Chain A
Amino acid sequence: MGEEKEETLKFTCIVCPIGCELIVKKVGAKIIDIKGYKCPKGKEYAIQEVTNPQRILMTVVKVKGGSLPTVSVKTAKPIPKAKLLEAVKYLSKLELKPPIKIGDVIVDDIVGTGVPIVATRNVNGE
């Protein structure tokens, strides 16, 4: 194995609307420098983003016999980015029954991430 190369990654911090431009230098898996953040949350985010990028997922799940045909849902916490599409696919196969209340847990552990899916709106019976 040869020397591991130094790599520079540039991306925007998505933690708040200011959107700082982050610059991370790393060698292999090791981070050697982080620049561009204006607050500690940005630094945390930069580390997270290069080691294990995560996102909050939001989508809708079908509801049968409700006041609306869908309920909007989100992951209670961010989940690994690589799992987003798998999670959407899983959720698109579900069909729920009303009533559903805001904050109800729809799935305890979405695609093995350990993170629950919660409802973000109320759906009553027809």
Chain B
Amino acid sequence: MKKIYADVLVLGAGAAGLAAAAKAKEFGAEHVVLLDEKEELGGVLPQCIHPGFGLHYYREDLTGPEFAFRLYEKVRNLGVEVHNQAYAIELIPRKYDEKIVRASSPEGLLDIHAKTVIFATGARERQRHEIGIIGYRPIGVYTAGQAQTMMDLYGMMPGKEIVIVGSGDVGLIMARRFALQGAHVKAVIEILPYPGGLTRNIQQCLIDFGIPLYLSHKVISVNGTKRVEGVIVGKVDEKLNTIPGSEFEIKCDTLIVSAGLLPRVELLMRAGAFMDPATKSAVVNEYLETTIPGVFLAGNALVINDLVDYAAEQGEAAATSAIKFIQEGGFPSCVQKSVVKGRNVRLIVPQLITGENDVFFYGRVSQPEEDVYLKVPEVGMKLRMLRVKPPEMLRFKIRKKQFENLEEDKITISVEPRSEG
């Protein structure tokens, strides 16, 4: 067993983790250790070869690998201690300023004694069984990320006749990738009555290539025993139940499942962090600190981000908090107020605030709506928004000054039609 000491230990070297490690080092932390299970750093970025990354963070339109390369160069030049192919298997909180993270690595087991830990472990993809698709388990069913890795890292085509489940941006981008590589994308199937991705991706990924989008439809089962031969698709009603008699078959040799991401926070859950069923991750305060002191969250592990820029921004914020934690010997225990979800707000982070800092909030609505106010009555905030959609993250700031007159022990965030006030 090898023992390592760290002031700041960052788990996961995707956009959030790389940005966190660089920031911690820039702020003068001596021992910054970065751990990732993979050989190549960058998380999902190296496999996302399309442009659309870094418009805010670098004010340039980069591809995923280019974005990762820039962050990685910074981390390397700053002298962060990087361990790749090292998989964190356990988090053991010892004292408020000592946590042990155990990892399995090519050098054997590592025990990293860290003052602070930043979880930037990203998210995993939902699998076909998690969205209720039945049938045999033939070859030819992949998640979007698996297909992307095969095509864009290893240069292999998963199949020729493709059906994609899920119209989020990842599914749409994969539809275009397949079409460009000469595959026949027969359909994108979406269970909800509206597309999950950005309108510009409907245009440049589907309409550009004449790919049909079936809204209010679901894939019920997979046909084929050895290789996928087709899928059975049905129309659904408002309650998302299949309408009997609406079923039909689409012949294909490959089914791509792009049904959303789940934060990878099992270690935190097992270590006893308080969880939020809406984000499916741990509850955090405005320092992005979980209920385990000195353990922070950033990137897709905290909340599923549609923009890499937000993931990197959260990484930097978590690093800034970690440095503050070390310098001040932990955060003074203060009264925390809760952030309550009001009308048409499905999730929000942070879930707790002290009211003593400027706070960036990230959230998602449940339903698309036009011409609305984003309201936080307790601090007298009212922001007009032309439209809100579940795939587009809400991001807004409440300033410290606005909290000054806050008397309640909570704030409520809601989205309300403008006509109703």
List residues of chain A with CB under 8 Å of any chain B CB: 11-14, 16-17, 19, 21, 55-60, 62, 68-70, 72, 74, 81, 84-85, 88-89, 92, 102, 120-122
Contacts and interface: CB of A to CB of B under 8 A. Distances in A.
A17 B54 CA distance: 12
Contacts of A21: 199
Contacts of B392: 17
A52 to B, nearest CB: 14
Contact of B155 (A17, A19, A55, A60): A60
A19 B63 contact: no
Interface string B56-77: 0000000101100100000000
How big is chain B's contact interface, by range? 20 to 34
B181 A88 contact: yes
A14 B200 contact: yes
Interface string B33-64: 00000001000001001110001000000010
B207 A70 contact: no
Given A12-B199, A120-B63, A121-B66, A55 B51 contact: no
Given A14-B203, A102-B69, A121-B65, A56 B198 contact: no
A72 B154 contact: no
Contacts, number: 75
Interface of B: 40, 46, 49-51, 55, 63, 65-66, 69, 151-155, 180-182, 198-200, 202-204, 207-208, 307, 392
Contacts of B154: 68-70
Given A70-B153, A88-B182, A102-B66, A12 B200 contact: yes
A16 to B, nearest CB: 8
Contacts of A12: 199-200, 202-203
Given A120-B66, A122-B69, A58 B51 contact: yes
A17 B198 contact: yes
A11 B69 contact: no
A113 to B, nearest CB: 16
B180 A14 contact: no
Contact of B49 (A14, A85, A120): A120
B346 to A, nearest CB: 20
A59 B49 contact: yes
A71 B208 CA distance: 25
Contacts of B155: 60, 62, 69-70
Smallest CB-CB A-B distances: 6 pairs:
A19-B199, A121-B65, A72-B49, A70-B155, A12-B203, A14-B200
B151 A55 contact: no
A85 to B, nearest CB: 7
A30 B40 CA distance: 51
A96 to B, nearest CB: 11
A21 B200 CA distance: 9
12 contacts: A14-B200, A14-B203, A17-B198, A17-B307, A19-B200, A55-B204, A59-B180, A60-B152, A69-B155, A74-B51, A102-B65, A121-B66
Given A60-B49, A69-B155, A121-B66, A85 B199 contact: no
Given A12-B200, A121-B65, 18 more contacts: A14-B200, A14-B204, A17-B200, A58-B50, A60-B152, A62-B155, A68-B40, A68-B153, A69-B154, A72-B63, A74-B49, A84-B180, A85-B182, A120-B49, A120-B63, A121-B66, A121-B69, A122-B69
A34 B111 CA distance: 63
Contacts of B203: 11-12, 14, 19
A51 B200 CA distance: 19
A56 B46 CA distance: 18
A77 B339 CA distance: 45
A19 B389 CA distance: 12
B198 A19 contact: yes
A29 B96 CA distance: 70
A70 B155 CA distance: 6
Contacts of A88: 180-182
Contacts of A102: 65-66, 69
A58 B49 contact: yes
Given A69-B154, A70-B152, A102-B66, A57 B200 contact: no
